[in-house]
Copies of this chain bind each other. A is one copy, B any other.
Amino acid sequence: MWGRQPVQDECVMTTETMTIRQMCDAFGVTARTLRFYEAKELLFPQRHGTRRLFTRQDRARLTLVLRGKRFGFSLEDIRQLLDMYDRDGSNAAQLTRTFQLAEARLHQMEAQRTELDVAIAELKSEMDKTATLLAGFRRAAE
């Protein structure tokens, strides 16, 4: 009735590779997002003809990308962090550079945490004032 999904006889769900739509469904992102991430060198899907085939590695990377995004990091930050997870450039110089990148990121994150703590404390203080005012109003209303 509706167009049935073309059943791939040979490439049966080995979970080896996934089409773009399978990725969208699996991760809850749009196709545009996956293509965008490829353009930004966050993912490196293979091609079968013109079609993208996302590998196990792409899925692992995408998981990390989405986690990083939840933490509020930019895609560029994430790309650099992914290079750290990919310690395939296993020479000491590369690892050292990677480590330094991570260290810088860590400092940024800790600074961000400190700022967030300050902001939270300030906001709480402001809310206390407002709450006090409100309490006064409610007493006056009786």
A100 CB, nearest partner CB in chain B, Å = 10
| A141 in the interface (beta carbon within 8 A) | yes
Judge whether B85 and A106 touch: CB under 8 Å: no
| A39 in the interface (beta carbon within 8 A) | no
Copies held by the complex: 2
Judge whether B85 and A133 touch: CB under 8 Å: no
| A52 in the interface (beta carbon within 8 A) | no
Residue of B nearest to A127 (CB): B102
Residue of B nearest to A93 (CB): B137
Q: Which residues of B contact A103 (CB under 8 A)?
A: 127
Judge whether A102 and B120 touch: CB under 8 Å: no
Residue of B nearest to A69 (CB): B119
